[in-house]
A = this chain, B = another copy of it.
């Protein structure tokens, strides 16, 4: 279970609104490679992960991504505060606003509500770890793209922190994969799925 600690993992204090940028950043809330998908992927995979060290990595990173989801929600919320209808219309935020006002809804930048189709839990440790390595690279690329549009140092600072964490997670999953293949038959570690086959 989780306990809420009333602070962000890293502070977010944005002074200027920017709904156009908010619409891009929201993709890390509910888009295909965002923090919700990351957290849900890792916290779901850990049930069938057979090795305690790997279960721990999934729990740790999955929990941290929950905190990132909160940071992204905060960024989006602060970027859309005190807007007037004129600003909303001019900045292309109307399509989002009409359905959610300035509430934070899990959607991609192009307006597709979050779908778990964009993640996978395969119940095979090697495969799940590959899924995770790819997920971290996809999140990293999204942050790279967001940074291309950020002039505001307040936003830039938080996004850079999040991007750096994805690189660290990628490295940890890399170590996890090595740890996992070490435990399996070195000649062909695909022949046997320790999450399922050991149970027979």
User: Measuring CB to CB, which residues of chain A are less than 8 angstroms from any residue of chain B?
Assistant: 1-5, 7-9, 20, 23-24, 27, 29-33, 36, 40, 43-45, 47-48, 59-60, 63, 66-67, 69-70, 73-74, 76-77, 81-85, 88-89, 92, 94-118, 120-124, 126-128, 130-131, 133-134, 137-138, 140-142, 144-146, 148-149, 167, 190, 193, 195-196, 199-200
Contact = CB atoms under 8 A, between A and B. Distances in A.
Interface of A, secondary structure class, is helix
A75 to B, nearest CB: 10
B141 A101 contact: yes
B59 A4 contact: yes
Given A95-B24, A138-B122, A128 B149 contact: no
Report copies per complex. Answer: 6
A178 to B, nearest CB: 14
A102 to B, nearest CB: 5
Contacts of A1: 4-5, 7-9, 66-67, 70
10 contacts: A3-B3, A43-B73, A47-B77, A98-B142, A98-B146, A100-B120, A103-B123, A104-B121, A107-B110, A131-B137
B128 A98 contact: no
Contacts of A74: 47
Contact of A134 (B27, B67, B133, B196): B133
A166 to B, nearest CB: 10
Given A44-B73, A122-B141, A200-B84, A112 B111 contact: yes
A101 B97 CA distance: 24
A117 B131 CA distance: 15
Contact of A103 (B9, B47, B83): B47
